[in-house]
């Protein structure tokens, strides 16, 4: 599940490093790439329900779902929607770069920031050098979708449900000013199954800075939880 403003190539930096036994696919959400003419989503619950219905025919017992930042919240709500509609949970849910959903009310709001302030926040998320800001035409093109995604996150309100039973792996980074280790650890409340917390060095987009290490770690988690459940 892509992060705010991300398209189907959001995770190419590390997903291409996964072994051939893992088939990685990133969703293409409305408002970007070949779906550019479509209105970007405004409600995370509505988007999750639509994605759950679309994905349901293709899911197996060895399917894992991963998301970073907005994508982590989306992945979580897609899994809950699939549990409600199909009684299905993934072999593993991997969430990265976002506080546990029950604590979302305390998350910073970014959608209403001015242009310069938003750019400054994006630079901080990349640790100072944000490649997307160097491509001004591309940045201006994607900015409306990025803001729409940020607004969708700002408006998200957690609705309590029983915890999942699948394994959950929660990733964070030591220099992410919005998501500290305690907020990552709080994901443990969202499952009765195995839980692992993994912290990397770096800022919010640490997984793009350390693609090899992140790909290796994801591979290890999937080997632990997904491979034994293959049909």
Nearest-5° Cα angle at 109, 103 to 111 = 140
Summarize pLDDT for 145-195 with one digit per residue, the tens.
999 999 999 999 999 999 999 999 999 999 999 999 999 999 999 999 999
Q: Please check the confidence at residue 231 and state whether its pLDDT lies above 60.
A: no
- For residue 6, tell me if it sits in a domain: no
- Say if residue 129's pLDDT is above 80: no
Share of the chain above pLDDT 70, in %: 98
Active site residue ranges: 69
Q: DSSP H helical segments within the chain, as ranges?
A: 12-15, 44-55, 70-86, 115-126, 131-134, 136-155, 181-185, 206-209, 211-225
Candidates 204, 4, 189, 162; CA nearest to 101 is 189
User: Is residue 222 within 8 Å of residue 53, measured between CB atoms?
Assistant: no
Q: Is the pLDDT of residue 197 over 90?
A: yes
Residue 77 has a pLDDT of 98
Confidence band of 217 (pLDDT split at 50, 70, 90): very high
What is the spatial distance between Cα 100 and Cα 82, in angstroms, rounded to a whole number? 19
What does the pLDDT average to over 46-53? 96
Asked if residue 3 is part of any domain, the answer here is no
Among 137-141, 171-175, 197-201, the least confident range? 137-141
- How far is residue 106's CA from residue 110's CA, in Å, rounded to a whole number? 13
Residue 207 near residue 171 (C-beta atoms within 8 A): yes
Using 50, 70 and 90 to split pLDDT, how confident is the model at 229?
very low
pTM over 0.85: yes
* Residue 50 covered by a domain: yes
The answer to the question of residue 4 being in a domain is no
Question: Containing domain of residue 174, as a range?
Answer: 12-229
Residue 1 lies in a domain: no
Average pLDDT of span 60-65: 95
What is the rounded distance in angstroms from the CA atom of residue 220 to the CA atom of residue 224? 6
- pLDDT tens-digit series, residues 23-43: 999 999 988 888 888 888 899
How many folded domains does the chain comprise? 1
Per residue in 73-87, pLDDT tens? 999 999 999 999 999
**What CATH number should be reported for the domain holding residue 30?**
3.40.50.1820
Q: Indicate whether 2 belongs to any domain.
A: no
| 7 falls within a domain | no
Q: Read off the pLDDT band of 127 (50, 70, 90).
A: confident
pLDDT band at 139 (very low <50, low <70, confident <90, very high): confident
Asked if the structure places residue 180 within a domain, the reply is yes
């Amino acid at each position: 599940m892509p992060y705010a403003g991300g398209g189907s190539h959001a995770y190419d930096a590390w997903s291409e490093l996964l072994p051939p036994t893992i088939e990685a696919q990133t969703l293409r959400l409305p408002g970007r790439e070949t779906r550019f003419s479509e209105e970007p989503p405004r409600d995370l619950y509505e988007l999750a329900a639509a994605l759950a219905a679309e994905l349901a025919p293709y899911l197996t017992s060895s399917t894992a779902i991963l998301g970073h930042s907005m994508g982590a919240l989306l992945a979580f709500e897609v899994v809950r929607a699939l549990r409600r509609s199909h009684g299905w949970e993934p072999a593993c849910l991997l969430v990265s770069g976002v506080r546990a959903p029950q604590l979302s009310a305390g998350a910073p709001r970014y959608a209403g920031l001015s242009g310069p302030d938003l750019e400054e926040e994006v630079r901080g998320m990349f640790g100072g050098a944000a490649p997307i800001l160097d491509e001004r035409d591309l940045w201006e093109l994607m900015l409306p979708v990025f803001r729409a995604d940020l607004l969708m996150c700002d408006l998200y309100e957690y609705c309590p449900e029983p915890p999942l039973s699948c394994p959950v792996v929660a990733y964070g980074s030591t220099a992410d000013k919005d998501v500290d280790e305690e907020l990552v650890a709080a994901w443990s409340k969202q499952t009765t199954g195995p839980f692992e917390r993994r912290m990397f060095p770096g800022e919010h987009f640490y997984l793009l800075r350390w693609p090899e290490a992140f790909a290796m770690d994801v591979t290890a988690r999937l080997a632990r939880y997904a491979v034994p459940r293959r049909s």
